[in-house]
Amino acid sequence: MTFTNAVTFAHARFARGATFLAAVFPQREVIDSFYGVESDGDLNFASAIFSRKADFENVVVKGTLSFQDASLMGAEWLYFKNASVESFVMDVDSALVAVKHGNGTEDRPEVLSRIESSAKARGDLVRANAALYAEDVLKSSHYSPPHRVLDFVFYRTIAGYFVRPLHPLFSVLVLAALVTLVRMARLRRRTARGTARAGRSVLRLSRTAGRHALESLHHFGTAFLQTLLLIPPGGGRTDERQSRQVEVWVYRILFACALIGFANSNPTLRQMLDAVR
């Protein structure tokens, strides 16, 4: 079904819901109005194509307002101020692009919050976490410059807002690898100075470049594994763990962030965390 002209359902009531499945709203200088629509059932725009503005302000949907698999990227603005829905389904990336924002108006936080809560209620934690992450990114734009920098560096990039566990896990691995490389470089410099004073050559002439590279990789792998073993309590050598306490605690904090992220991605553990909050 293609709606060439402007669609007006302002203040309409759908006693059993309404379906605009795969409907097409082609690009025109008009605004489709669903302002104040009341639906006792679902209001379904699944697989619809919006290429122009549409007003969903003050809608009341006692079922699900669904834009599942809808194409919204071409929509200029979709208005959702004061929408009241039992459940809301929309792709997060589409919401960031198509929902009304800019020029002193911003409907995206409200929409993202509804996407997050509805997805969580359905057990769709992938979409719920994506919406929560996008909502936190929008919030950070209103922070003071120092707060914004801290938010970007640690909370968003490293901790992944505690919903993207691969962020802190990757940070642990990268930090451990860098520290391992620095420690190996320092050890080589000390060894080189010692052998130079003893009048011996650091490299054996019989050692090929390929063999030297393999040995270096083996030494790095061993040292890197030893570094990672410091993370669990009681892991690694006691003397080494004590001499690197600050470093170990940084690893553990990042690893804890990853665990929280994984917990937020599991329905059962997410419920437990929400109960604690």
Q: Indicate the pLDDT class of residue 53, thresholds 50, 70 and 90.
A: very high
Of all residues in the chain, the percent with pLDDT exceeding 70 is: 88
The pLDDT value given to residue 253: 94
Please state, in angstroms and rounded to a whole number, the distance separating the CA atoms of residues 40 and 18: 9
Q: Which residue has the higher pLDDT, 266 or 81?
A: 81
Q: Which two tokens stand for residue 56?
A: 């969903």
Cα 64 to Cα 99, 182, 255: the distances in Å are 18, 55, 38
Q: β-strands 49-50, 78-79: how paired?
A: unpaired
DSSP 122-182: HT-HHHHHHHHHHHHHHHHTTS-HHHHHHIIIIIIIITGGGT-THHHHHHHHHHHHHHHHH
Only one residue has tokens 């901790």, namely 159
Question: What are phi and psi for residue 71, nearest 5 degrees?
Answer: -95, 105
pLDDT higher than 80, residue 93: yes
Hey, where are the domains in the chain? 13-142, 166-276
Cα dist. 80→12, 95, 99, 140, 212 in Å? 16, 11, 8, 22, 63
Task: Record the pTM.
Answer: 0.81
pLDDT at 194: 58
Q: Which strand (E) or helix (H) includes residue 85?
A: strand 84-89
CB atoms within 10 A of CB 133: 19
Q: Does the pLDDT of residue 92 top 80, yes or no?
A: yes
**What's residue 227's pLDDT?**
87
At residue 272, the pLDDT reads 66
pLDDT in tens, 16-32: 999 999 999 998 889 99
Confidence of residue 251 (pLDDT cuts 50, 70, 90): very high
Largest CA distance in the chain: 94
Residue 167 scores a pLDDT above 90:
yes
pLDDT at 204 over 60: no
Helices (H), the chain: 92-98, 108-122, 125-140, 145-150, 166-197, 209-228, 238-243, 245-264, 267-276
β-strand partners of 198: none
Res 62 pLDDT > 60:
yes
**Better pLDDT: 119 or 193:** 119
Average pLDDT of 85-108?
92
pLDDT at position 206 is: 47
Over residues 175-203, the pLDDT tens digits come to: 999 999 998 888 877 776 655 555 444 44
Cβ atoms of 119 and 131 within 8 Å: the answer is: yes
User: What pLDDT, on a 0 to 100 scale, did the predictor assign at position 275?
Assistant: 63
Integer angstrom CA distances of residue 3 from 45, 166, 169:
13, 44, 49
